[in-house]
Amino acid sequence: MSAVSRAASRPASRAPSGRLLYAQSGGVTAVINATAAGVIETARTRGVKVLAARNGILGVLREQLIDTSKESKGAIAALRHTPGGAFGSCRYKLKSLEANRAEYERLIEVFRAHDIRWFLYNGGNDSADTALKISQLGKAMNYDIRCIGVPKTVDNDLAVTDCCPGFGSVAKYIAVSTREASLDVASMADTSTKVFVLEVMGRHAGWIAAAAGLAGEGADAAPHVILFPENVFDEAAFLAKVKATVERVGWCTVVASEGVRHADGRFLAEGGSRDAFGHAQLGGVAPLLAALVKEKLGCKVHWAVPDYLQRSARHLASKADAEQAYAVGKAAVEYALAGMNAVMPVIVRTSDAPYRWKVDAAPLAKIANREKKMPRSFITRDGFGITAAARRYLAPLIQGEAPLPYGKHGLPDYVELRNTAVASRLPPLAGA
């Protein structure tokens, strides 16, 4: 990484010329727009015009570009506290250059038509792959383009970086919500609900489920049972733990990752359940676990699935997360303008307590298409809780609040950008 770091600090050989294109990709988060603010504000101070692609890489292919210079300073600043993706995002993975050369030719055509010399792609694993492919186009297609991946994912599963912008805020939301709902359950358990099941995101890695563990510490504190996608679901052990907790504590909070699996690899939630009309039910491991507990243990159960609420809850964002999201946007512009290519600004932790971190550049090749699972050492031996090592890692990520302005109406003052379209310079893409 040191060679890359040196490159970052190397002064640009010439004054920046051309435009910088920024695009958001994959599932959005509470703080991805803070990254956008970091990108745009930093580029503005360097005199570089930022275009944004509508709906991620698709906006490039379709030549649907947005001129961010039409947005006021205040509007860009307000992105720092506005959840969702201000320019639209997409789920779309580029094929390899060999498999779909026409697509890459179109990208270059659009870059060239709008004099785009830097492309910043803000996303997760798949987007890092896209960014890496585009970074390699310069030579292959004889067009000078630098591409920087910018990290974002609530799943916290990107390689190299210590954590992913977006994760800290969902972690804080889940930890706080677990604590609040558990206070509710504790109040009512004598005559009402005894088991509460909270389903959280994280289909392949249990980072978000683990964050729920920050809600309390000690055997009697909620959450009492965490189900990780890293473990095979053991129905008997699960029911035994819930039963023992209800008998000892009086009630039990269960946090289950949406990705909990059977031994054969099937998700619990893909059971092919049907409602009374024979319609296939959509997902939901929480209702399934609730039904199981009710049937086998006979106690009253409630369940919750916050779904998108957890990853869009900017009102409860983590300060560290919001700051890191901004910082990687800022660094990405600095790397790009310094002539770097095929890198991603990542978070490097230098101290657990007090929490200290810095941003450094890492090669996209070490990040694209990899997936960082939770270390086995983060899960307690019985499989249902988090260890002290996990707490050391997770605790700093939810520290601090990131307050946001509320309007007179009692709602957060979220900004809606104008998103002024850049006039097309090319014939439309067939089929786009």
Of residues 72 through 111, those in contact with its own copies by CB under 8 A are 82-86, 88-92
And the tokens for 12? Answer: 């640009």
H or E segment to which residue 343 belongs? strand 343-351
Decide: helix, strand or coil at residue 93.
Answer: coil
Decide: helix, strand or coil at residue 391.
Answer: helix
Q: Determine, following the binding rule CB under 8 A, whether residue 411 of this chain makes contact with its own copies.
A: yes
Sheet-wide strand order for 116-123 = 65-67, 50-53, 19-24, 116-123, 146-151, 343-351, 356-363
Query: In this structure, are residues 69 and 14 in contact, taking their beta carbons and an 8 Å threshold?
Result: no
Report in angstroms how near the CB of residue 207 gets to its own copies at its nearest: 16
The correct pick among 19, 152, 261, 311 for binding its own copies (CB under 8 A) is 311
The correct pick among 74, 408, 423, 428 for binding its own copies (CB under 8 A) is 408
Report in angstroms how near the CB of residue 234 gets to its own copies at its nearest: 16
CA–CA gap between residue 392 and residue 366 (Å, rounded):
25
- Burial of 247: CB neighbours in 10 Å, binned 0-12, 13-18, 19+: exposed
The correct pick among 210, 214, 328, 390 for binding its own copies (CB under 8 A) is 214
Q: Determine, following the binding rule CB under 8 A, whether residue 196 of this chain makes contact with its own copies.
A: yes
Q: Determine, following the binding rule CB under 8 A, whether residue 306 of this chain makes contact with its own copies.
A: yes
For its own copies, give the closer residue by CB, 376 or 408. 408
CA–CA gap between residue 153 and residue 367 (Å, rounded):
13
How many residues make up the chain in this entry?
432
Is residue 155 flagged as an active site residue?
Answer: yes
CA–CA gap between residue 246 and residue 144 (Å, rounded):
64
Report in angstroms how near the CB of residue 352 gets to its own copies at its nearest: 13
Report in angstroms how near the CB of residue 55 gets to its own copies at its nearest: 4
Q: Determine, following the binding rule CB under 8 A, whether residue 287 of this chain makes contact with its own copies.
A: yes
List of residues 6+ apart from 80 with CB closer than 8 A: 33, 34, 37, 322, 326
Selected range binding its own copies among 43-51, 95-103, 290-298, 338-346, rule: CB under 8 A: 290-298
Report in angstroms how near the CB of residue 430 gets to its own copies at its nearest: 18
For its own copies, give the closer residue by CB, 130 or 312. 312
Q: Which of 115, 126, 144, 155 is catalytic?
A: 155
Q: Determine, following the binding rule CB under 8 A, whether residue 213 of this chain makes contact with its own copies.
A: no
Catalytic residue list: 155
